[in-house]
């Protein structure tokens, strides 16, 4: 049973769309949804129906509002107070605006990727040793790894060990080389 309506069976569609409390939110929404009856039996159909009919911006706002309605429902079910629907609509707009602003700030500048270097096998009857190092200042150590492969790329030996904290990557690589040999 819905805690707000006490007459409808609990379902996701009811909680987000049909419930009196949800309808109050949709009635105050800047998206013209209150007159949009979908009669869908599950929430995925509901979202698909609206996805096909709303602009991208309106659908994004609809999703944020749905999330806030769901959280409001959970708050009330667990003994909390019902929030004013206008407050939920304002909060949805604020959340979406904050998200969009953060995406602009997080936009990465494209960097030209270095040419991809791929492993090449050694000549016949020889082995190839590859090694690397990583520095972990927060753990006060470095780590070294090495692998030996034959001409067919099969692993003949490998290691991974903890080493002392290195001052820089050149020192760490030198220590890794010494340890690998």
CA-closest candidate to residue 41, choices 2, 5, 8, 13: 13
Mean pLDDT of 117-123: 85
Q: Residue 39: pLDDT band by 50, 70, 90 thresholds? A: low
Q: Residue 105: pLDDT band by 50, 70, 90 thresholds? A: confident
Length of the chain: 181
Distance of CA 34 to the CA centre of its chain: 31
CA-closest candidate to residue 130, choices 142, 143, 144: 144
Q: Which one has a higher pLDDT value, 171 or 16?
A: 171
pLDDT averaged over the chain? 83
Indicate the domain borders of the chain.
12-106, 128-180
Kindly report the pTM of this predicted structure. Answer: 0.51
Res. 9: pLDDT tops 70: no
CB 163 within 8 Å of CB 133: yes
pLDDT of residue 36: 54
Mean pLDDT of 87-107: 85
User: Measured between alpha carbons, how far is residue 174 from residues 41, 141, 149, 169 in Å?
Assistant: 65, 15, 21, 9
Res. 65: pLDDT tops 70: yes
pLDDT of residue 1: 44
Q: Which one has a higher pLDDT value, 163 or 34?
A: 163
CA distance 34 to 149: 67
CA distance 47 to 43: 6
């Amino acid at each position: 049973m819905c805690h707000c309506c006490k007459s409808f069976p609990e379902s996701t569609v009811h909680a987000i769309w049909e419930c009196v409390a949800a309808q109050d939110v949709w009635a105050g929404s800047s998206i013209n949804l209150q007159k949009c009856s979908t009669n869908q039996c599950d929430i995925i159909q509901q979202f698909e129906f609206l996805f096909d009919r709303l602009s991208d911006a309106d659908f994004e706002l609809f999703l944020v509002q749905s999330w806030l309605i769901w959280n409001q429902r959970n708050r009330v079910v667990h003994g909390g107070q019902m929030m004013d629907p206008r407050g939920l609509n304002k909060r949805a707009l604020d959340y979406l605006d904050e998200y969009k602003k953060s995406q602009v700030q997080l936009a990465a500048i494209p960097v030209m990727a270095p040419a991809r270097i791929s492993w090449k096998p050694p000549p016949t009857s020889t082995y190839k040793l590859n090694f690397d190092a990583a520095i972990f200042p927060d753990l006060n150590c470095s780590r070294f790894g090495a692998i030996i492969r034959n001409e067919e790329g099969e692993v003949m030996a490998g290691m991974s060990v903890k080493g002392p904290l290195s001052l820089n990557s050149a020192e760490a690589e030198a220590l890794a080389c010494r340890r690998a040999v």
